Every structure is written in structure tokens, then in C-alpha cells.
Amino acid sequence: MWLAEHPLDAPLREVLAAPPGARVQLFWLGQAGFVVEGGGRRVVIDPYLSDSLAEKYRGARFAHVRMMPAPVEPCEILHVDAMLATHAHTDHLDPGTLPQLLANNLDAPLIVPKSALAVALQRSCVPKQRLIGIDAGETCKWPGLSITAVRAAHETLERDDQGFYRFLGLAVRLGGATVYHSGDTVPFDGQVEEVRELNADLALLPVNGRDAVRASNGVPGNMSVEEALDLCRATGIGAMIAHHFDLFAFNTVPRETVEALASRSDLPHAVAARLDRFYSLGPEQTG
């Protein structure tokens, strides 16, 4: 499929207050957060739209002060069919975002790793009945929408005491397209084979990298831009949006680096996520 980048022609709050249409479109929320919609369905993945981490780590060595403001308030995202979280870290499962978002979308379940159900119940402030647990290899289905989970390794593959994976990637199928959100991950054995089976049209991959300084301070890392591009090539995914940068100064890479590597890639479509853009997927253009 063809990935196209367009300027936002209205404030994001206005766009996301309207029902989703037929076209497959994506909107970046910063960090790993995305709105993905198509075929009349809308899902929200890993939204971090608060300052809960800045409050938690005030005065610490790695102060989680935003480099960019949240592009929309949680209460301004409407017509959501499902809210997804790839793992329990606060910038993906945020107590400052989830209660408002779910309160304004009463029919939307919160889909989280089975390993994170207890945390999600506490942070979301919704009844247990609205939570759906998922583990690698499982799929949740509704008319016009399905979510499939695969493994992810936020530095390492980890399981809880019950054997459920702590970190997941999620493939969202809607509007005739499959969008793979890897969650936070680095390359690991078996990843290429698992991701290839998804037959994804687009990959949303974290590119803030990793290093000894962050690791020694308990900050797990992610792929580099080069590793993300390599995964797309190896799995036959022709389009990539790079994300998970430009939010926290201690855990980012320069935007210029991401944009330069993406633009020089031999991948058919590779871009660095931008808040002032939205993205559409459609049939491959010819001629």
C-alpha cells in the first residue's frame, strides 16, 4: 500500500471529534501514541497526553519534562472503538490519560497485555468488565476490526509469574489494511518470522535507541533507526513511521537524524512522525 503524508487542515481536537471515515488514516499523539482509523473504526494506541511522569520524577536526574505539548486533550478524542496499550510503562499506560479518554468513549474496551491487567484496572478507573487481556499469539475480533498480539523485547523478552509476556506488539486490522505497532522493542531472535506472518502494510516503530547510560539508570531502550528499517526490509513491510522521540530530553535522538536516515532509506515509504501531519494508507499508486 501507499503511505502518504498530509498537513493537518484543522486542529487535531476537531478532527478527532468527528467520526472516522472509510479511509485508513493515522495521527501521531507523541512518543508511541497513535490514533489509527479506517473502515468507520477508530483505535487509540499507547496515548501519553498528560504530565504524570513529570510529576512522578520531579527533582530526579531524569526529569520527564515534555519537549512538546500534548497535541490534544484525552477528553477530545471521541468515537473510539478500542483503546490499546502495548505494556505497563506509564508513557504507554497512563493514569493521566486513560480515565478521561475512556469516560468519553463508554463503549470502548481497554485492551492490554494479560500481564498488565491489574495495573490497567488501577490506572484506568473503569470496571473490570471493560478490560480485555491479550497475550502473544492471540487475536481479538469485532466486525471490521481485529487486534493481534506478538512478542516484543524492551531490551529483553520478559514474562510474568503466570507466563504472560510483559511487552507486546499489536497488529491492527481495519479498513482493508494492517498496521503493526511494535510497542517498545529491540531486535530479538524470532522477531522477523513473527512480524512477517502479520502481512502488515505499515510499521510504527520506536527509534530512540539505547545506550549504557540509560541502561545503568533503569531506562530500557528501543531500536535504532537503522534497526527499524532493517526489520521492515526483512519482513516485507514497505512503509514505516518512526516514533518514540522528541518527548523526553534524556531518552530521544535528534529529529534531524531520524528524518535523514528515513529519507535516504531504500524502503518505499519511510518517515519520521510529525504532530502537524496525518498519514493515509491506500492502494499503490502507479503511473
The ranges assigned to domains in the chain are: 2-281
Helix and strand numbers (H, E) in the chain are 8, 15
Determine the pLDDT at residue 52: 96
Q: How far is C-alpha 251 from the geometric centre of its chain's CA atoms?
A: 16
Q: Give the pLDDT band of residue 285 (cuts 50, 70, 90).
A: low
Determine the pLDDT at residue 287: 41
Residue 147 reports pLDDT greater than 60? yes
**216 or 237: which carries more pLDDT confidence?**
237
Amino acid identity at 159:
R
Determine the pLDDT at residue 284: 72
In sequence order, what DSSP letters do the residues of 62-116 get, joined into one string? S----SS--SS-GGG--S-SEEE-SSSSTTTS-TTTHHHHHHT-TT--EEEEGGG
**Region 167-185: what's the mean pLDDT?**
98
Contacts of residue 123, Cβ cutoff 8 Å, sequence gap at least 6: 93, 94, 95, 98, 99
Average pLDDT, the chain: 96
88 and 120 in contact (C-beta within 8 Å)?
yes
Residue 273 reports pLDDT greater than 50? yes
Residue 240 reports pLDDT greater than 90? yes
Looking at the chain, the whole-number percentage of residues with pLDDT higher than 70 is: 99
Segment 40-69, tens digit of pLDDT = 999 999 999 999 999 999 988 888 999 999
Residue 198 reports pLDDT greater than 80? yes
Note the CATH number of domain 2-281. Answer: 3.60.15.10
Segment 120-136, tens digit of pLDDT = 999 999 999 999 999 99
**Region 160-189: what's the mean pLDDT?**
98
Determine the pLDDT at residue 151: 98
Worst-scoring range by mean pLDDT, 43-47, 110-114, 235-239, 281-285?
A: 281-285
In angstroms, rounded to a whole number, what is the distance separating the alpha carbons of residues 164 and 222?
21
Per-residue CA distances from 175 to 24, 209, 267, 283 (Å): 6, 32, 23, 12
Short-list 32, 28, 49, CA closest to 96:
49
Determine the pLDDT at residue 1: 83
Determine the pLDDT at residue 152: 98
In angstroms, rounded to a whole number, what is the distance separating the alpha carbons of residues 235 and 194?
9
